[in-house]
Amino acid sequence: MSAPLAIFGVDVSRYGTISFDVVETGGGGASGTVTISSGQWIARSGGLATVTVIDPITSAESTTNLGYGDLMAEIVSQLNAIGNAAYFMGYDIGTGYLRISAQDAFTAGVTAVTYSNFSAEMSRVTGIDAGSVVLPDIFTAVPLLATRDSWHLIRSDVGGWSEWSQSESDIDGEDLRGADGSTRGLVAIGTATTVDAVVPLEPRAKIWSRDASSALAWTFQRTLSRVRTVEPCIIANPDLTGSSMVGYLRADSCTLRPRLMSADYLAYQSVPLGFYVVGRL
């Protein structure tokens, strides 16, 4: 499965508590509840603590913290504090979905782990519902794999952006022209960088929620209705392999306006999006 084109932040105060229960079999039978009831998070290693930005006056680079922590690290930290197994969380290479892995740690004797009572937001934000895993030995990390994408990312079936365009925003101001033809201007010093792009040829079931395969399935409508211009996002940058931009959806491009290939063909539709760029990773 293709890598996400964009990963959006999650403000728990807006969406609700992220929580679930965990019970270990063996190793003392530890149990408890993972609860994230406050804060701003994003499912990326390191969060958005060190975003590289460019000073509009000097063009010097510096880093800033957008205040969004590492959601996966927080979940893992709480799991490790509860249980005797060792826990890990990340994106599965084969499916691209999020997963939680458990491994018996230092012969602790944990033979199985059960996850249950997932809050609605845990399911929406991670795509994981519930389930059990059996740990065959102390060496094998066994994953609990999500069954669908998080509502806080965008992934393309085709596998990339189309119609990518990056530019600086227009600056309000005026030219001051002398009689000899010399010119000066009254303008702002800095201006925002914008990106416009299209997610091409997405199947109809991924566009509108009414056409989705289930009430929890990922759709563009569900993602855009939650994040709009409020949540920051990490944008895959096709100009530079391994590089990502950080930005926000623009007010003129944060609503769903799918393009049809032709007036009478609905099966595949393309989705245009527009971002303001604040920095890079």
Half-sphere exposure for 160 (CA within 13 Å, toward CB)? 7
Nearest residue to 195 via CA among 101, 109, 100, 276: 276
pLDDT grade, residue 243 (50/70/90)?
confident
| Residue 122 backbone dihedrals phi, psi, to 5 degrees | -60, -45
Neighbouring-strand partners of residue 249: 275
Six-digit token string for 247? 């930005």
Distance CA 40, CA 17 (A): 11
What pLDDT, in 10s, does the model give residues 13-58? 999 999 999 999 999 999 999 999 999 999 999 999 999 999 888 8
Distance CA 72, CA 99 (A): 10
200 with 156: CB under 8 angstroms? yes
| Residue 223 backbone dihedrals phi, psi, to 5 degrees | -70, -50
pLDDT of residue 51: 96
Exposed (0-12), middle (13-18) or buried (19+): which is 42, by Cβ within 10 Å?
A: buried
Mean pLDDT throughout 64-81? 98
Beta strands in 204-258 (DSSP E): 233-236, 244-249
Buried b (16+ CB within 10 A) or exposed e, 163-173: eeeeeeeeeee
Half-sphere exposure for 135 (CA within 13 Å, toward CB)? 26
Mean pLDDT throughout 185-200? 89
pLDDT grade, residue 4 (50/70/90)?
very high
Distance CA 150, CA 4 (A): 10
Distance CA 232, CA 84 (A): 35
Mean pLDDT throughout 139-149? 96
39 with 14: CB under 8 angstroms? no
The percentage of residues in the chain with a pLDDT greater than 70, rounded to a whole number, is: 100
What pLDDT, in 10s, does the model give residues 153-168? 999 999 899 999 999 9
What pLDDT, in 10s, does the model give residues 99-123? 999 999 988 999 999 999 999 999 9
pLDDT grade, residue 139 (50/70/90)?
very high
Q: Which residue has the higher pLDDT, 125 or 186?
A: 125
What pLDDT, in 10s, does the model give residues 196-214? 999 999 999 999 999 999 9
Nearest residue to 41 via CA among 24, 63, 66: 66
pLDDT of residue 131: 95
Distance CA 93, CA 16 (A): 29
Distance CA 30, CA 27 (A): 7
Q: Does the global pTM surpass 0.85?
A: yes
Distance, C-alpha 49 to centroid of its chain: 15
Distance CA 74, CA 56 (A): 34
Ordered alpha helix ranges (H), the chain: 12-15, 71-82, 120-126, 220-227
Per-domain residue ranges for the chain?
Answer: 6-145, 153-280
In this structure, is the dihedral angle defined by the CA atoms of residues 141, 145, 150 and 153, taken in order, positive or negative?
positive
pLDDT of residue 37: 97
pLDDT of residue 89: 98
69 with 60: CB under 8 angstroms? no
pLDDT of residue 30: 97
Mean pLDDT throughout 165-179? 86
Mean pLDDT throughout 256-270? 94
Q: What is the mean pLDDT of the chain?
A: 94
pLDDT of residue 210: 95
